[in-house]
Amino acid sequence: MSSPAPATPGVRVPPPLIFLAGLSAGLALEYFHASLPLLDPARAWWLDLHAFGLGVVAIWLLGSALGGFRRNGTDPRPWREDSALVVEGIYRHTRNPMYLGMALAYAAVALAFNTLWPVLTLVPVLLLVRYYVIGREERYLTALFGDAYRDYCRQVRRWF
């Protein structure tokens, strides 16, 4: 006999705060430690163009993901109980469009500021999100939805 699913995934720190903390650390290193530009400032217009594109994709991903949760009547916050498994819309292509959107928004800011430090601090942020947040969510959703979630995981990649 399997044990009942926990009431929530057990995520205590909101993922947007994890991304914001990493971005803040990267920008602080840029301004208080050593400047590490990605490109010569004369060519920074190229970074601005890419930052804008990443920002648009990030907003689209986040909006699509939140819309999927709203249509299914479930709460997107990972410290709350889930009432439905969202598998349509953007969730047919990635299991974590919100975290992917947050990562792209983070990268867009790094490009817009033309600094390498936030790009470097993105690595531990993504590891923290993957193992602290997504890992807990995956265990919770497996316990809650069982085979339906396992089948979904076999069909759709974690990131892209």
Residue 2 — very low, low, confident or very high, per pLDDT cuts 50/70/90? low
Query: In this predicted structure, what is the pLDDT of residue 87?
Result: 96
Residue 155 — very low, low, confident or very high, per pLDDT cuts 50/70/90? very high
Query: In this predicted structure, what is the pLDDT of residue 160?
Result: 87
Q: State yes or no: pLDDT of 125 exceeds 80.
A: yes
Q: What's the chain's average pLDDT?
A: 94
Query: In this predicted structure, what is the pLDDT of residue 3?
Result: 64
Q: Which residue's entry shows tokens 């959107």?
A: 101
What is the b/e burial string over 77-105, where b = at least 16 CB atoms within 10 angstroms of the residue's CB? Answer: ebeeebeeebbeebbeebbbbbbbbbbbb
Q: Using CB atoms within 10 A of its CB, is residue 25 exposed (0-12), middle (13-18) or buried (19+)?
A: middle
Helix pair 97-112, 117-128: axis angle to 10 deg: 170
**What is the tens place of the pLDDT at every residue in 8-28?**
899 999 999 999 999 999 999
Chain centre distance of CA 17: 11
DSSP element (H, E) containing 41: none
Count other Cβ atoms within 10 Å, centred on residue 23. Answer: 22
Instruction: Give the residue extent of every domain in the chain.
Output: 15-26+41-155
d(CA 129, CA 127): 5
**What is the tens place of the pLDDT at every residue in 45-88?**
889 999 999 999 999 999 999 999 999 999 999 888 889 999 99
Q: Using CB atoms within 10 A of its CB, is residue 30 exposed (0-12), middle (13-18) or buried (19+)?
A: buried
In the predicted model, what is the mean pLDDT of residues 94-117?
Answer: 97
